[in-house]
Amino acid sequence: MTSTTRKSPLGPLMVDVGGLELTAEDREILAHPLVGGVILFTRNYRDHDQLRALCDDIRGLRAQRLLLAVDHEGGRIQRFRVGFSRIPAMRSYGARHDEDAAMAAAGARDAGLAIGRELAAFGIDLCFAPVLDVDHGVSGVIGDRAFSDRGDVVTALARAFRSGLQAAGMAATGKHFPGHGAVTADSHVELPVDRRAESELRAIELQPFAALIADGIESIMMAHVRYTAVDETPASLSRKWIRGILRRELGFGGAVFCDDLSMGGAAVVGGLDERARLALAAGCDMLPVCNDRPGVVALLDALKDLRPNRAASARLQRLYLRDTGATA
């Protein structure tokens, strides 16, 4: 195998692209060895033919192809709508669960299957779902994205949703560890602070995550939230939360995504360079940096001394879409 075709490890950065097709700058950025994935947004979609061409272009750029992801949970968070199934907010399945648990689980599985099949048709690897947050009625940014205000219902319906994704060959991403549903602040804008006792966090917020980890969920996304009883560092950048509780205590062996490093909840620790280095040192495998192309360019230069981590790359490569024949 020549050096031009040898597959190199996936880099730790997940970046976005500006429009409906790749520009010369996009191609240069995506060829950088520190870039390992691409996240798509509504601006990247016009119709099926255009999206297929864009995804094929991205997937064909490198011998070790980039991970391709989109936030596509249903409800408010569904980047592609025209020509795609309209998936209701996950809370609708939680409300149905109180009347008929089996029917609610079947609906959640169907939602996961529909999302998985439709995205898989374009070669998209991840939909960044399900939400495992327990809703406490105070978080506007989570709200009806959560299945329920009860951990056992979140667990049951997230398991059903994940089974639908699996049937379509798609890995699941549980978010936002260790739980974003009890804080009022929006981590896109500022750093939320959860001051509850560690015992309460473990008894309530960790319940769905622990259950899905025991099931073998493939990846987890961290929360930009500070839990003062555990660590003053936001969970997304915290060695105690990631290497200690998530990895060592809960036994999670899959891929760990930071939440978007351009969000306000991460900005409290400094610039993108400081955030990225803290996240990697804490144990994150992949770092999304969204809607900030100048920041991405500067970050690639600032991290030029960094080498992709082969163990992290191996975990990320296990997230590639599986061909199940479900979308043929």
Catalytic residue numbers read 188, 259
For residue 31, give the DSSP letter.
T
Q: Phi-psi bin for 204: left (phi > 0), alpha (psi -120 to 50), beta?
A: alpha
48 backbone dihedrals φ, ψ, rounded to 5°: -60, -45
Single out the residue of 7, 8, 14, 9 nearest to residue 286, CA to CA.
Answer: 14
Single out the residue of 237, 230, 293, 308 nearest to residue 267, CA to CA.
Answer: 237
156 backbone dihedrals φ, ψ, rounded to 5°: -60, -45
* Cα–Cα dist 229/187, whole Å: 19
For residue 255, give the DSSP letter.
E
| Contact call for residues 291 and 40 (beta carbons, < 8 A) | no
For residue 326, give the DSSP letter.
T
Instruction: Check whether the bond before 178 is cis (ω within 30° of 0).
Output: yes
* Cα–Cα dist 122/49, whole Å: 9
Q: Can you name the residues that pair with 255 across neighbouring β-strands?
A: 219
b/e burial code for range 93-132 (CB count within 10 A of at least 16 → b): bbebbeeeeeebbebbbbbbbbbbbbbbbbbbbbbbbbbb
Positive/negative CA dihedral, 267, 268, 274, 275: negative
Amino acid at 308: P
| Contact call for residues 249 and 213 (beta carbons, < 8 A) | no
| Contact call for residues 72 and 115 (beta carbons, < 8 A) | yes
